[in-house]
Amino acid sequence: MLPEKLPSTLSYGGGALSILSAMTLTDWGILVGILTAIGTYLVNHYFRWRCSRQDYYFKLRRDQREQELHDLKKQQLKGEVSP
């Protein structure tokens, strides 16, 4: 660390430490609760996004397979392909 930045860094560190030491147990509980709620929301949002993406690709593959079967059935009925 550069010597000219040392006083500024120590000042910010001391300010942060004084704020953290002024927090009571109730304040810490509220902070942890808020962070837990935000974390839960983000994890839930990610897994819902992932699930909806999987559902989309599953339905897309199913539709493609149904179209292939339909085309094959049409070819069989026309006599182009043996059953």
Reply yes or no on whether the pLDDT at 67 is more than 70. Answer: yes
Q: Round to whole Å and give the CA distance between 81 and 73.
A: 9
Q: Decide if 44 contacts 36 (C-beta within 8 A).
A: no
Count, residues in the chain = 83
Reply yes or no on whether the pLDDT at 59 is more than 80. Answer: yes
**Predicted pLDDT of residue 43:** 96
> Which DSSP string corresponds to 26-43?
HHHHHHHHHHHHHHHHHH
Q: Output the CA torsion 20→14→38→44 (10° steps).
A: -120
Q: Output the CA torsion 66→72→77→80 (10° steps).
A: 170
**Predicted pLDDT of residue 1:** 58
